Amino acid sequence: MRRIWTWGLVPLALGILIGILILGPFVIKWLWAWTVPDLFPGAAAGGLVATEISWWSAFKLALFVAFLAATTGIRSRGRE
């Protein structure tokens, strides 16, 4: 029974991890392109703020947000 549980849980965990690694940068890249030009229209038109970011930048931003969430304890505050 334990072996079946392990073999069922490992692919599920890997699938969730891969999904987060793919979905996180996609969502950040989409939100950046959607909100930044609206928030800073003059700066975006003048080239002072990037209207789009690369996939690598989106991935790094996703890691940064995950790090901030982990260090500040965002998940545990809702349980108090």
Q: What is the pLDDT along the chain (80 residues), one digit of tens a residue?
A: 566 666 778 888 888 888 888 888 888 899 899 998 899 999 988 989 888 999 899 889 888 888 887 788 766 555 55
pLDDT at 80: 52
Where are the domains positioned within the chain? 23-75
Number of H-type helices and E-type strands within the chain: 4, 0
Q: What is the CA radius of gyration of the chain?
A: 18
- Please, are residues 68 and 60 in contact by the beta-carbon 8 Å criterion? no
* Residue 51 pLDDT: 87
Backbone angles phi, psi at 54, to 5 degrees: -75, 170
